[in-house]
Amino acid sequence: MQSIVLFGPPGAGKGTQAQRIMESTGLPQVSTGDMLRAAVAAGTPTGLEAKKYMDAGQLVPDEVIINLIKDRIKESDAQNGVMFDGFPRTIPQAEALASITEVSHVIAIDVPDERIVERICGRFTCNECGSVYHDTFNPTKVAGQCDNCDSKDFKRRADDNESTVMSRLTAYHEQTSPLADWYLSKGIFHVIDGDRDIDEISKDIIEALK
């Protein structure tokens, strides 16, 4: 089994690109952020523990995340590899991942910090299918209706506010960016300019995965 990792700061476009390249990779998207939000909504012990970190824009402890991933990759759709979105985010998470699956490519979506706040504060997602939009940069084609499933039910994330975004960016620079060197040394790290049109980025990611 060979998996790929989508890597980058909050709001870089990892979720947006995961949805676009799922068909060409044939790999299911595994987003630790989505899994944690589902656990919070369900009120599970994991969700209750994770919520305080997520609300503060801090990383959830490694042990919680690694256990979530170990369970997820046992599922039937993950047997030929997965596309990780937002995992790993620390060296211990990357080491745990290396012990359970082979990673063929790490795709780093590079976006300058000054773009991040405007991206995150304008984000909304479809409550039915999870498609990701932006008020200005990526609106629905028909106002108020999801392009993918026609739902009119949208939501915004509790942690998508300016002060939490600044904490998430600090966590990214302090705890997650050191992983770039770790993966560079393994020769599987590909940097993609993420400050461009969404379709151009998808094309470059698909090319890098060949």
Please identify, using beta-carbon distances, which residue of 11 and 81 lies nearer to ligand AP5.
Answer: 11
CB–CB of 83/27 below 8 Å?
yes
Residue 168 a catalytic site member: yes
Locus of tokens 């990357």? 94
Q: How far is CA 125 from the centre of its chain?
A: 14
Q: Are strands 102-110 and 189-193 parallel, antiparallel or unpaired?
A: parallel
Q: How far is the CB of 132 from ligand AP5 (least distance, A)?
A: 5
188 belongs to the binding site for ligand AP5 (CB under 6 A): no
The number of beta carbons lying within 10 Å of the beta carbon of residue 26 is: 10
Long-range contacts of 197-204 (CB under 8 A, 24+ apart): 198/13, 198/16, 198/17, 198/20, 198/138, 201/13, 201/17, 201/109, 202/17, 202/20, 202/21
Interface region with ligand AP5, contact rule CB under 6 A, candidates 21-29, 94-102, 178-186, 192-200: 192-200
The number of beta carbons lying within 10 Å of the beta carbon of residue 129 is: 13
Residue 89 a catalytic site member: yes
Among residues 168, 183, 202, 204, the one that binds ligand AP5 under rule CB under 6 A: 168
Please identify, using beta-carbon distances, which residue of 57 and 81 lies nearer to ligand AP5.
Answer: 57
Among residues 78, 91, 117, 133, the one that binds ligand AP5 under rule CB under 6 A: 133
Residue 156 a catalytic site member: yes
Distance, in Å, from the CA atom of 195 to the CA atom of 192, rounded to the nearest integer, reads 9
202 belongs to the binding site for ligand AP5 (CB under 6 A): no
Among residues 11, 40, 83, 105, the one that binds ligand AP5 under rule CB under 6 A: 11
Among residues 119, 146, 179, 189, the one that binds ligand AP5 under rule CB under 6 A: 119
Among residues 3, 4, 7, 12, the one that binds ligand AP5 under rule CB under 6 A: 12
13 belongs to the binding site for ligand AP5 (CB under 6 A): yes
Query: Catalytic amino acids?
Result: 14, 89, 123, 156, 168
